[in-house]
Amino acid sequence: MHRFANPTQFMRIANAIYPWAAGLSVILFLIGLPIALITSPPDYQQSETVRIMYVHVPSAWLALMIYGIMAGGSAAFLIWRHPMANLAAKASAPMGAVFTGLALITGMLWGQPMWGTFWVWDGRLTSFLILFFLYLGYLALGDAFEDSERGDKAAAILCLVGSVNIPIIHFSVEWWNTLHQPSIVKLGGDGVKSTVDGSILLPLFLMLGAFTFYYFAVLVLRLRSELLAAKIRNARMSQVATHAAIDPAAEGRLFVDSARLPRASAE
Amino acid sequence: MTRKRQRLYFVVLGMLGLGVGTALVLTAFQDNIVFFRSPTDVAEGKVAAERFQIGGLVEDGSLVKNGEDISFSVTDLNNSMKVKYRGLLPDLFREGQGVVASGRLGPDGVFVANEILAKHDENYMPREVADALKKSGRWNEGAEGGPVPSEAGPKGMTPASTAPKEAP
């Protein structure tokens, strides 16, 4: 595993994954969207409203999965100081926040017609809102320090502390009575079980796959650009050093230039 | 012990401590985290608050509509409670379906609700499948208004402590 701490090694694998992830995501969206939104049957009780599920459940799944990946990355960063693990966590955070927001919004739009309310403070909804704030807190804390290394560490610790919320979100519908219904797919001792009919489960799984591969594809793109930004910054820095050696007056001007560059921590 | 090893133990112990702490807090506040109380809770005098939510299934044959005045019974299969409400009902509201009503218990033992929410289960299926299940008799209407593949039961409709171990 420590092999992947090397950015070159890490990116070699990430770049190999990228075309597969991007391709599968596009294919699954192309197959899944028409089935989910048009040809799949309406639910016997909720009729067409059930189609919100095909966006809501994959968003919520990604919100949890991305947080899990970020927690793993943050742990590897804090324990072994792997810069790539931290970079992967930082690159994932905005996506996780967006999917959490999407799950919250689609959930509200679904709750109003079915339950009769946009929002209730039950175990599932409340813990999921906390997840959204954890993402925002992670993003804000990482940028709140003058020294980006310290910001990264503080954000990684917040991410680890917040990870206790993940099992709470998952089990909230089983531990306490909630307005939110229990999980659609149950992972038990006897494998994957679901009480949902196959004609509704199929588009759901297609959309789950499409969303998940989308995340991995975009993650690779974000990592690439972060590494390039770091390279540019390093190149500017060494340029500053050379200029400063020849002409001390140039230092200030070039320093301003390099400070305007996007910040990246992997060096 | 290397610094890395030290940090690993620190993180693992920290997470363990955090997990145990969270579990203790959540267990301590168990009764406050539930979204609704069951008729059995009320019957056993466990509900002290004046305003609360009562949840369960709309009892079959209990629904009486008189214009906007509605009355029905909420049951958790052990106890039931009469609920009065005036207003619009959510689309999913029907007999045998999950419901959560918020309001207060009147002196006559009738719960006066000012908000009714419908609770549905996770058994999504097309109409034809639902009809076929009903026809073949695998539809357990009384228990939760949906097909009950074995242990799915009226879970979530009753707090774990008072939930009937076996559906009657």
Q: Where are the domains of chain B?
A: 1-33, 35-168
Of A53, A182, A199, the CB nearest to B155: A182
For tokens 């040809």, name the residue.
Answer: A39
**In chain B, which among 9-48 make CB contacts under 8 A with chain A?**
11, 14-15, 18-19, 22, 26, 30, 33-36, 38
Taking 50 as the threshold, does the pLDDT of residue B166 lie above it?
no
Residue A77 above 50 pLDDT? yes
CB-nearest partner of A75 from B11, B155, B160? B11
Q: Which of B15, B35, B92 sits opposite A176 (nearest CB)?
A: B35
State mean pLDDT over A8-20. Answer: 91
pLDDT at A146: 86
**Could you say which of B15, B30, B158 has the minimum Cβ distance to residue A160?**
B15
Judge whether residue B159 has pLDDT over 50.
no
| A1 interfaces chain B, CB cutoff of 8 Å | no
pLDDT at A130: 96
C-beta neighbour count of A6 within 10 angstroms: 13
Cβ partners under 8 Å of residue A146, min gap 6: none
pLDDT in tens, B91-107: 888 888 899 999 999 88
Compute the nearest-CA separation of B106 from chain A (Å): 24
Q: Are B117 and B36 in contact (CB under 8 A)?
A: no
- Identify the residue among A35, A40, A45 best suited for mutation to test binding to B, counting B beta carbons within 10 A and taking the highest: A45
Mean pLDDT of A30-42: 93
Smallest CA-to-CA distance from B119 within B155, B150, B77 is with B155
| Chain A CB within 8 Å of residue B121 CB | yes
Distance CA A130, CA A137 (A): 10
Show the tokens assigned to B115.
């908000």
pLDDT in tens, B58-71: 998 889 988 888 99
Structure confidence by residue, pLDDT tens digits, B70-86: 999 999 888 899 999 99
Sign of CA dihedral A106, B158, B21, B1: negative
* Residues in B touching A114 (Cβ below 8 Å): 90-92, 118, 120
Phi and psi (nearest 5°) for A3?
-55, -40
Task: Give every CB contact of residue B159 below 8 A, 6+ residues apart in sequence.
Answer: A176, A177, B34, B37, B38, B41
Q: Are B67 and B96 in contact (CB under 8 A)?
A: no
Q: How confident is the model at residue A189 (pLDDT cuts 50, 70, 90)?
A: low
CA distance A100 to A97: 5
Q: What pTM was estimated for this model as a whole?
A: 0.84
Nearest residue of B to residue A157, measured between CA atoms? B11
Per-residue pLDDT band for A214 (boundaries 50, 70, 90) equals very high
Q: Looking at domain B35-168, what is its CATH homologous superfamily?
A: Nucleic acid-binding proteins (2.40.50.140)
Q: What is the overall mean pLDDT for chain B? A: 80
* Chosen from B8, B58, B124, B133 to mutate, greatest number of chain A CBs within 10 A: B124
Cβ-based neighbour number of residue B48 at 10 Å: 7
- The answer to whether residue B161 scores a pLDDT higher than 70 is no
- Cα separation, B159 vs B84, in Å, equals 23
pLDDT band at A9 (very low <50, low <70, confident <90, very high): confident
Compute the average pLDDT of residues A93-108. Answer: 97
Q: What is the pLDDT of residues B127-150, one digit of tens each?
A: 888 888 888 876 664 344 444 433
Tell me the C-alpha distance between A226 and A152, whole Å: 15
Q: What is the pLDDT of residue B56?
A: 92
Report which of B82, B75, B72, B29 is spatially closest to residue B55, judged by C-alpha positions: B75
pLDDT in tens, A218-250: 999 999 998 998 889 889 988 888 876 666 555
Cβ–Cβ of B122/A50 closer than 8 Å?
no
| Residue A262 contacts B, CB cutoff 8 Å | no
| pLDDT exceeds 80 at position A88 | yes
Tell me whether residues A116 and B117 touch, CB distance under 8 A: yes
